[in-house]
């Protein structure tokens, strides 16, 4: 029997609050980069994007509750573990989705609202169903990581045709792919048990590591265009970008290609997240100069 009371802990698990917060922060970064200052606009952008991201995440868990019950890493989530009812989760995603849309509608721009709603449709209506049919869905899913910075940018009045936001969004798009591939590598048996297709299912672990390295290399290389298009300037920040890329590339190269590699997945995830946060910090530093 499901629990009668739903604690905040279960709601936080259902919304995957860490991931949803990271998405909202990337939207705020887009806003700050366009404005060049900290403004009160941060509050509605952060809260609106956080609510929409949380709504999409809850809806995803509703859609995949049966598959989640088959996987070790997800079987304790609120829905498969019966700690929350389907009705309660559905009501929660509806309230958050409407609230986030209303906040963005009244405090940002129509384009920002459209991007937010499109992202939910893409994530829940395209990416989630295709996970059971094609292993190349990782590229489709990466689109959802590119849109939040665009939302912050357009919320401040920026144009999507500006090369600056195009390259920033491209960075977030490319970053998603090695992240997804590492998940497939770490939880390969879980995904197979749940019936999810994987582009790496017929590959050896070493082959997957090589592919992870190539996408990581692409993620690093896109940041080298930042100085070209005026996204960052100044010797110090450019040197920081170069050093970050060098450390990231060396780590993943050694992990993928050294003889008898011991690929530490925890360190790999940590390195990717630290790299993304560092790039965000550099972008914000540039904007606030």
pLDDT of 213-245, one tens digit each?
A: 999 999 999 999 999 999 999 899 999 999 999
pLDDT at position 6 is: 55
Q: Whole-angstrom Cα distance, residue 84 to residue 77?
A: 9
pLDDT at position 3 is: 46
pLDDT under 70 in the chain at which residues? 1-6, 197-202, 258-263
pLDDT at position 210 is: 85
pLDDT at position 98 is: 98
Radius of gyration of the chain (CA): 19
Q: Whole-angstrom Cα distance, residue 77 to residue 269?
A: 21
pLDDT at position 280 is: 92
Three-class SS state of 135: coil
List for the chain the helix, strand, coil content (%; round to 5): 75, 0, 25
Select from 27, 53, 41, 42 the least CA-distant residue to 165: 27
Cα 203 versus chain centre, distance? 25
pLDDT at position 144 is: 94
Please, what is the average pLDDT of the chain?
A: 89
Phi-psi region of 157 (alpha: psi -120 to 50; beta: other; left: phi over 0): left
Select from 47, 46, 53 the least CA-distant residue to 31: 46
Domains of the chain: 8-287 (1.10.357.140)
pLDDT at position 253 is: 86
pTM to 2 decimal places: 0.90
Return the DSSP state at 4: S
Q: Whole-angstrom Cα distance, residue 144 to residue 122?
A: 7
């Amino acid at each position: 029997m499901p629990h009668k009371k739903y604690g905040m802990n279960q709601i936080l698990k259902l919304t995957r609050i860490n991931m949803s917060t990271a998405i909202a922060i990337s939207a705020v970064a887009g806003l700050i980069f366009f404005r060049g200052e900290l403004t009160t606009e941060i509050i509605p952008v952060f809260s609106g994007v956080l609510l929409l991201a949380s709504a999409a995440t809850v809806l995803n868990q509703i859609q995949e509750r049966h598959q989640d019950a088959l996987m070790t890493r997800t079987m304790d989530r609120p829905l498969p573990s019966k700690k929350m009812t389907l009705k309660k989760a559905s009501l929660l995603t509806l309230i958050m989705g409407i609230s986030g849309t209303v906040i963005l509608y009244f405090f940002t721009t129509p384009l920002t609202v459209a991007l937010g709603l499109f992202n939910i449709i893409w994530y829940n209506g395209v990416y989630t169903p295709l996970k059971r049919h094609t292993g190349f869905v990782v590229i489709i899913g990466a689109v959802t990581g590119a849109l939040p910075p665009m939302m912050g940018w357009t919320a401040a009045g920026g144009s999507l045709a500006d090369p600056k936001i195009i390259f920033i969004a491209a960075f977030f798009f490319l970053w998603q792919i090695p992240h997804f591939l590492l998940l497939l590598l770490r939880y390969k048996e879980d995904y197979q048990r749940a019936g999810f297709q994987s582009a790496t299912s017929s590959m050896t672990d070493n082959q997957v590591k090589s592919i992870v390295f190539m996408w990581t290399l692409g993620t690093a290389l896109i940041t080298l265009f930042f100085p070209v298009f005026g996204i960052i300037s100044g010797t110090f920040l450019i040197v920081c970008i170069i050093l970050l890329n060098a450390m990231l590339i060396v780590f993943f190269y050694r992990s993928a290609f050294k003889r008898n590699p011991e690929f530490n997945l925890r360190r790999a995830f940590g390195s990717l997240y630290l790299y993304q946060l560092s790039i965000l910090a550099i972008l914000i530093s540039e904007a606030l100069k």
